[in-house]
Structure 1
Amino acid sequence: MSGKPDPGGDEGPDVESPTPAGAALDIAGPGGGRRWVRRSGRDRRSRARLELLEGEDIVVLNDRRIPGSRSSIKYLVVAPAGVFVVDAKSVKGLVHTKRPGPISALGPDELHVGRHDCTPLVGAICYQVDVVRKALRGTQWANEVPVRAMLCLTRAQWGFASPLELGEVWVGWPQMIGPRITSPVIMDTPMVNEISNVLSDHLPGG
């Protein structure tokens, strides 16, 4: 289907970013325009960063350390529509949800891709959102700027499905990110820059 990743075979979740040095993550902007997020290949282990082309009003912070943890936030995007914690996984298979348990007492929705239960990915990115909200706590923007979670399945098969939401986590494919981070506009460029500076100070790069 146009604009969706190519269907593929079944494969376990890839814990690394699916965009290696020199590769690009295609982000479609409003009206079909394209923005390209590219990982620099100079030193991908310690100095990897994302360059967002044609997007002066968007700041991407790459590989931000979580205080007190060895984990990091892969992509932290500050954009006109808010702050977005973005993770990308190259899991293969058909995307679907399940609610375990008997019909009279169904459990919460689980995210599955092919044979794989990817629900833990949803929990992990929710934790990262809490970290970012904590970083903004005490600032003048704490109650003004939404912090949202986006899980990008770059190689999954969607069939006729649309992007979905599990709790507060949006799950979709890369080409659908652009419209969500740019609309509705709640921040101008100076505000985007100020907030990105605050987050960069509180969540230093890895």
Structure 2
Amino acid sequence: MHDRRVPGKHSNIDHLFVGAAGVFVIDAKHYKNAEVSVERSGGLFAPTVETLKVKGRTRNALVTAMQGQRDVVAHTLAGTAADGAPVKPVLCFVGAVLPMREKNRRVGDVRLCGLKGLARLVSEEGPWDEGRRLDIARALADRLPSMTQGS
């Protein structure tokens, strides 16, 4: 599902994908040839702080926005047959250069990937069969209407 309205707000969710392993909330960002990195500081005696950088600039607001979208989707599924389903936030960087190491393709619970990585991510094996995924997709479509259809 694409371009879904967030109830009570002027914002939207770019993409939702219901896969066998969960519901993927995907925000696509186009940064041609930009280097994406995750910096970590602290640890041992202090909390670890993770910072998303794009072209050397801090972009933690992207992570915060994705966590908010994840929460909206999880709240939307509350009270449905999909209550408690895993909701996985993903930042998909189109045209960017991502970190080589898998552990550096995550900030908190927000996954970072390119288009090929996105295809692998959403096709992960999981417990949901086609019927269950369709039920969840219908629940989401009913509760998060399209921003473009019917306008």
User: After the TM superposition, which residues 23-38 of structure 1 pair with which residues of structure 2 at under 5 Å, given as runs?
Assistant: none
The answer (yes or no) to whether the contact 2:30–2:96 under 8 Å persists in 1 is: yes
Which has the larger share of strand?
2
- Contact kept, 8 Å, 1:96 with 1:113, in 2: the verdict is yes
Q: Show the 5 A alignment for 1:90-109.
A: 90-91=30-31, 92-99=33-40, 105=46, 108-109=49-50
- What's the TM-score once normalised by structure 2's chain length? 0.85
In the TM superposition, residue 81 of structure 1 has moved relative to its aligned partner by 1.6
State the Cα distance separating 1:159 from its structure 2 match. 6.0
Compute the RMSD of aligned alpha carbons.
2.0
- Measured in 1, the distance between the counterparts of 2:29 and 2:140 equals 24
Could you tell me how far apart the structure 2 residues matched to 1:167 and 1:73 are?
A: 19
Structure 1: any 5+ residue segments left out of the alignment?
1-60
2:93 equivalent in structure 1? 153
The structure with the largest helix share of the pair is 2
Task: Answer whether contact 2:98 2:105 (CA < 8 A) is retained.
Answer: no
Return the offset for 1:116. Answer: 2.1
Q: Does 1:80 align with 2:40?
A: no
Report the TM-score, using the length of structure 1 for normalisation. 0.64
Contact 1:76-1:85 within 8 A present in 2 as well: yes
Return closer, same or farther for 1:107/1:79 CA change in 2, 3 Å cut-off. closer
Given the superposition, is the C-alpha separation of residues 105 and 80 from structure 1 closer, same or farther in structure 2, using an over 3 Å criterion?
Answer: closer
What's the % identity of the aligned pairs?
32
User: What does residue 166 of structure 1 align with?
Assistant: 107
Whole-Å separation in 1 of the counterparts to 2:15 and 2:98: 23
- Partners of 1:200 and 1:121 lie apart in 2 by 24
Which is worse superposed, 147-156 or 113-122? Answer: 113-122
CA distance 1:160–1:133, change in 2 (3 Å): closer
Match of 1:127 among 59, 68, 72: 68
- Structure 1 or 2, whichever has the larger Rg, is 1
Q: Which residue of 2 aligns with 1:118?
A: 59
Measured after TM superposition, the shift of residue 119 of structure 1 is: 1.2
* Displacement of 1:100: 6.0
